[in-house]
């Protein structure tokens, strides 16, 4: 049993430590994501084609899915991209048995990437600290124990205080904020691996205009949101302060997917008589694509996009 500790350490242990949530559990058993949907992979394949074109069709074109979960996205992409695409999944979880053989499954991103790096719902799972303003107006780290009880701990250190002042100022006792610095470091580490191409992180998040007053630290288990208890029995996630990430473009998923050809139209009813199977498949695709672009759901996710073109020297 662990006593009180800061959220970052508690989250790290509960999610990724020995016996941690992601060491055992398949994400799709607990929550639905865009990346689990085949029609999402169709759109990402179009993005990959655009990046490939921009790079002038290099002899090897990398597509790297970071935080690949159970490999759904990269598995679907394998069906869309030809053999010149070198596919890799970066994951701490074990390789799924049914993954196409051409996909490399690895614990770390490749040293150097020419192509597309995509990270869906990774950054919200990067462990971070929670800050809370105490009744005297001091900003302190929140601590949590393994039963989920919380208490204010030490005052926040200088770098975190600076981050809060710039990105998420706390003004009233009881207000809480998740400190985004580890997410920014993770994003930078990914971008730094890309020699030429595009990096995309897709996540739920917020911007300066609408920071949630009580923070967003939440648990997920069996499809439901639950109290975030860092005992390894649930996912623990906090929305991303997306505007604090350095990128070339920040856009909502529904707009990004519109540029990539979504939503897919419903098939015409006449198709149901001509070819019932094709009609049913078309209907499934169009309703999946409606979920991906729903402005009150997955469509409100943010795409953080950075383009890289560096010389080897």
Ligand X SMILES: C[S@@+](CC[C@H](N)C(=O)[O-])C[C@H]1O[C@@H](n2cnc3c(N)ncnc32)[C@H](O)[C@@H]1O
Site residues (CB under 6 A) for ligand X?
22, 27, 33, 35-36, 67-69, 90-93, 120-122, 125
Which CB sits closer to ligand X, 231 or 235? 235
- Two tokens, residue 255: 């707009």
Question: At closest approach, how far in Å is the CB of 303 from ligand X?
Answer: 13
Which CB sits closer to ligand X, 10 or 156? 10
Of the candidates 100, 129, 119, the one whose C-alpha atom is nearest the C-alpha of residue 44 is: 119
- In angstroms, how far is CA 283 from the centroid of its own chain? 27
Element (H, E) at 178: strand 176-178
ω into 263 cis (within 30 of 0): yes
The C-alpha atoms of residue 158 and residue 62 are separated, in whole angstroms, by 39
Question: At closest approach, how far in Å is the CB of 68 from ligand X?
Answer: 6
Q: 48-84 burial, b if ≥16 CB within 10 A, otherwise e? A: bbebbeebeeeeebbbbbbbbbbbbbbbbbbebbeee
Question: At closest approach, how far in Å is the CB of 121 from ligand X?
Answer: 4
Q: Which residues pair with 40 in a beta bridge?
A: none
Question: At closest approach, how far in Å is the CB of 61 from ligand X?
Answer: 20
Question: At closest approach, how far in Å is the CB of 32 from ligand X?
Answer: 8
Is residue 232 within 8 Å of residue 146, measured between CB atoms?
A: no
Which CB sits closer to ligand X, 9 or 55? 9
The DSSP letter of residue 268 is P
Q: Which residues pair with 202 in a beta bridge?
A: 120, 303
Look up tokens 């999944």; give the residue. 89
Which CB sits closer to ligand X, 4 or 105? 105
Question: At closest approach, how far in Å is the CB of 125 from ligand X?
Answer: 5
Which CB sits closer to ligand X, 126 or 244? 126
Which CB sits closer to ligand X, 12 or 143? 12
Q: Which residues pair with 309 in a beta bridge?
A: 196
């Amino acid at each position: 049993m662990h006593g009180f500790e800061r959220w970052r350490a508690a989250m790290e242990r509960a999610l990724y430590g020995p016996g941690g949530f992601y060491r055992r559990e398949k994400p799709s058993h607990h929550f639905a994501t865009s990346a689990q949907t085949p029609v999402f992979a169709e759109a990402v394949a179009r993005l990959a084609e655009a990046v490939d074109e921009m790079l002038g069709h290099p002899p090897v074109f990398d597509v790297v899915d970071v935080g690949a979960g159970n490999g759904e996205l990269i598995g679907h992409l394998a069906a869309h991209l030809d053999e010149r695409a070198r596919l890799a999944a970066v994951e701490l979880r074990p390789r799924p048995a049914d993954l196409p053989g051409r996909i490399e499954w690895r614990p770390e991103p490749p040293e150097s990437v020419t192509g597309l790096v995509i990270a869906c719902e990774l950054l919200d799972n990067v462990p971070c600290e929670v800050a809370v303003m105490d009744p005297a107006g001091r900003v302190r780290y929140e601590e949590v124990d393994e039963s989920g009880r919380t208490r204010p701990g030490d005052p926040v250190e200088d770098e975190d205080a600076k981050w809060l002042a710039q990105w998420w100022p706390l003004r009233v006792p009881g207000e809480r904020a998740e400190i985004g610095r580890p997410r920014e470091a993770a994003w930078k580490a990914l971008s730094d691996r890309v020699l030429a191409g595009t990096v995309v992180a897709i996540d739920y998040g917020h911007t300066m205009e609408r920071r949630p007053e009580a923070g967003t630290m939440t648990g997920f288990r069996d499809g439901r949101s639950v109290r975030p208890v860092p005992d390894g029995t649930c996912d623990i996630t906090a929305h991303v302060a997306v505007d604090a990430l350095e990128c070339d473009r920040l856009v909502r998923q529904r707009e990004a997917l519109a540029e990539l050809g979504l939503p897919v139209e419903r098939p015409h009813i006449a198709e149901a008589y001509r070819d019932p199977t094709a009609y049913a498949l078309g209907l499934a695709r169009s309703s999946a694509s409606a979920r991906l672009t729903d402005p009150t759901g997955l469509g409100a996710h943010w795409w953080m996009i950075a383009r890289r073109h560096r010389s080897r020297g």
